Amino acid sequence: MASSSSSSSNSAPFCLVKSSINVDETFDVPHIVAPGETLSSTGLTSRPGGKGANVSAAIALAGAPVRFSGAVGSDAPWPLDELACRGVDIDGVETLKDQPTGRAFIQIAADGENSIVLLKGANYATSSSTSDPETVFSSAPRLITHLVVHNEIPLAVTTAFLEYAQRTRSGGQAPRITSIFNPSPMPTPDELRSFPWSAIDVLIVNEGEGSELLNALDARGADAVPSDLVQGSDERSRRVVDALADLEALKHTAWIVLTRGSRGVMARIQVAPAASPAQRTFFSLPSPKPRQVRDTTGAGDTFAGNLVAALMGVNLSESAARNADGDDVESATQQASAAAKSDDHVNRVLTWACMAASVACETVGAMRSIPKAEDVKARLA
């Protein structure tokens, strides 16, 4: 019995986030500073952040098991405590003495809009043992089923982790690893063209990122999305996501998700594993309206983390919610596959992620704004 329980737990969905962790230095300003302008800040707050840390926290708070892999400096290791108290496994983090913890300098305007400047710090320390995928994967407490990466660490490290995951699943090892990529901040056009897109199962971009990606990978990108279309309009967003779905480079990517802020989300998704790229189903969901918009920082990371948790099988049904504890493993693994099982399944995944992002806008701060699963469930009830 003990052996069976151990095997069941070891086979349950488990996510690795290989990405960044920062200290967010947030300045309250009347409006986002313009070039050449000097503004007085009415407040300064230091909070934990970084896309990888935020997404890890969102996955954990949604009820899914997740390990964060990255590095901090000995000058400011305290963001790790914030991850741990939210249920994130931080045993995969290295503390470096010769690099500062990464920083994000954030302006928050009175209307809730934000702008961000990054200091790379320990996130870009390639000498860290956490930059080696074989070391990180082999030291995980369970077999990794989901890998999340961004672009706030060296692109070569991101690529190495994706290619390692791709080789693992290509070798027939179980469970299959689903790779999720949010290319933010965007790589250069040359980097985008040489990127191993075949290793990506789920792509999450906003409209601006989607347009940059399209223009870098397809010389006809400008024709697919005419410049006279209004930024953020339904027609323009639909053109962008449709054109991305037609790209040869993304033919292996089952989920292409375009986030639209307060306008919701559009996506092209393979609803069955045998579907071809031309058979991707189109989805469009509005964003639930927050009760009060206080800070949009972290809403995108909240969406991404909750999308990953839903893909792992939690929060979509009572039986799926038990999967984080290792029960009903076969069902969990099926739900965690890159291709969706039905239109209804996709709608539930996207609805959950959109509601979580909406709730996050009601609280100041990035990581601190991420809601717990019960808070999202209460809004959806």
Distance CA 215, CA 189 (A): 8
Residue that has been written with the tokens 């990794």 in this structure: 144
CA-nearest of 121, 163, 137 to 17 is 137
CA distances to 123, 124, 154, 159, 210 from 151, rounded to whole Å, are: 10, 10, 7, 10, 15
β 43-49/22-28 pair status: antiparallel
Distance CA 277, CA 103 (A): 39
Ligand-binding annotation for 369, yes or no, is yes
| Class of residue 361 by CB neighbours under 10 A (exposed 0-12, middle 13-18, buried 19+) | buried
Ligand-binding annotation for 295, yes or no, is yes
Catalytic residue among 28, 111, 201, 301: 301
The reply to whether 301 belongs to the active site is yes
Provide the CA 54 distance to its chain's centre, in angstroms.
Answer: 9
Query: Amino acid identity of 128?
Result: S
CA-nearest of 194, 190, 225, 220 to 208 is 225
Ligand-binding annotation for 300, yes or no, is yes
Ligand-binding annotation for 297, yes or no, is yes
Ligand-binding annotation for 363, yes or no, is yes
Segment holding 100, helix H or strand E: none
Distance CA 225, CA 242 (A): 10
Ligand-binding annotation for 51, yes or no, is yes
Ligand-binding annotation for 298, yes or no, is no
Ligand-binding annotation for 222, yes or no, is no
Ligand-binding annotation for 296, yes or no, is no
Ligand-binding annotation for 120, yes or no, is no
Ligand-binding annotation for 73, yes or no, is no
Query: Amino acid identity of 361?
Result: C
Residue 17 backbone dihedrals phi, psi, to 5 degrees: -105, 110
Which residues neighbour 196 within 8 Å (Cβ) at sequence distance 6 or greater?
Answer: 159, 162, 163, 166
Ligand-binding annotation for 69, yes or no, is no
Ligand-binding annotation for 23, yes or no, is yes
Ligand-binding annotation for 323, yes or no, is no
Ligand-binding annotation for 45, yes or no, is no
Cis peptide bond upstream of 286, omega within 30: no
Query: Are 130 and 110 contacting, i.e. CB atoms less than 8 angstroms apart?
Result: no
Residue that has been written with the tokens 């070039």 in this structure: 35
Ligand-binding annotation for 22, yes or no, is yes
Distance CA 86, CA 259 (A): 25
**Residue 79 backbone zone (phi > 0: left; psi -120 to 50: alpha; other: beta):** alpha
Query: Are 186 and 203 contacting, i.e. CB atoms less than 8 angstroms apart?
Result: no
Ligand-binding annotation for 24, yes or no, is yes
Q: Could you tell me which residues are annotated as the binding site? A: 22-24, 50-54, 152, 206, 259-264, 295, 297, 300-301, 360, 363, 365, 369
Q: Could you tell me which residues are annotated as the binding site for K(+)? A: 295, 297, 360, 363, 365, 369
| Catalytic residue IDs | 301
Q: Could you tell me which residues are annotated as the binding site for substrate? A: 22-24, 50-54, 152, 301
Q: Could you tell me which residues are annotated as the binding site for ATP? A: 206, 259-264, 300-301
